[in-house]
Structure 1
Amino acid sequence: MKTFIQHGDCLTVIAPAGGTNSGELYKVGGIIGVAATTEAAGAQVVLKLDGVFGLTKVSAQAWAVGDLIYMNTTSRSLTNVSATGLVLVGVATEVAANPSATGACRLNGVSAPAAV
């Protein structure tokens, strides 16, 4: 097929201000993904856009399977509460207790403003 470019589950992008840490979630434009490597700001970094990841969440929340998950783009922590300024990034795939530092999230690969 002459129009195929790549599978798209991983994309190489320019690392955002502050750089990236391997295994952490980042938003670059409308792209949401987990950094494959630690890179300085402005360097190329591969983001994994789909799959289920154990990511930093608001500790004082309980998540249920299927909850919509939003990202605070400043702290990069995840929440199951929709609010202005957050972006939808995926869905919870496991129960997460209150308190707990991480939650399992299946990424959508793109961000969308939270509907409030």
Structure 2
Amino acid sequence: MKSFVQTGDYLEVTAPYDVTSGSGVLVGKLFGIAATTVASGGKVNILRRGVFDHAKTSAQAWTQGADLYWDDTAKVFTTVSTSNTLVAKAAEIAANPSGTGRVVLNG
């Protein structure tokens, strides 16, 4: 197909802040997990699909399949929608308290 560019699983974006490999990156409404570590303004490949273990709001219990939002201030996944961006689902149950949850990106 003449118009095909790439699968979109990885996408190069400009880091809106200092990014560490494995951390979440939000550019507008575009979200992914950083493949490398870069300073703010650098180019970084983000993975837009897949399942990841990532930091979450500790004082939340997650049910499998729950909507998850990216808190771009705290740089964690949360079930709180207010002022956050819907980017994933809970891949597994996560306890309260726990600092990490398993997420599947909406990609």
State if a TM-score over 0.5 links the two structures.
Answer: yes
Match of 1:106 in 2: 104
Cα distance in 2, alignment partners of residues 70 and 59 from structure 1? 14
- The Cα offsets for residues 24-62 of structure 1, whole Å up to 9 and x where unpaired, read as 111012210000000011111000001111111011111
Counterparts of 1:46 and 1:100, CA distance in 2: 28
Structure-2 residue corresponding to 1:22: 21
Report the TM-score, using the length of structure 1 for normalisation: 0.88
| Aligned partner letter, 2:94 | A
Consecutive unaligned residues in structure 1, runs of 5 or more = 110-116
RMSD: 1.0
**Runs of 4+ in structure 1 displaced over 2 angstroms?**
none
Distance 2:72 2:24 in 1: 10
Structure 1 CA distance for aligned equivalents of residues 101 and 79 of structure 2: 10
Q: Secondary structure at the match of 1:89?
A: strand
Per the alignment, residue 3 of structure 2 pairs with 3
> Does structure 1 conserve the Cα–Cα contact (< 8 Å) formed by 2:29 and 2:85?
no
Identity among equivalent pairs (%): 48
Q: In 1, Cα distance between the equivalents of 2:19 and 2:92?
A: 26
Q: Which residue of 1 aligns with 2:38?
A: 39
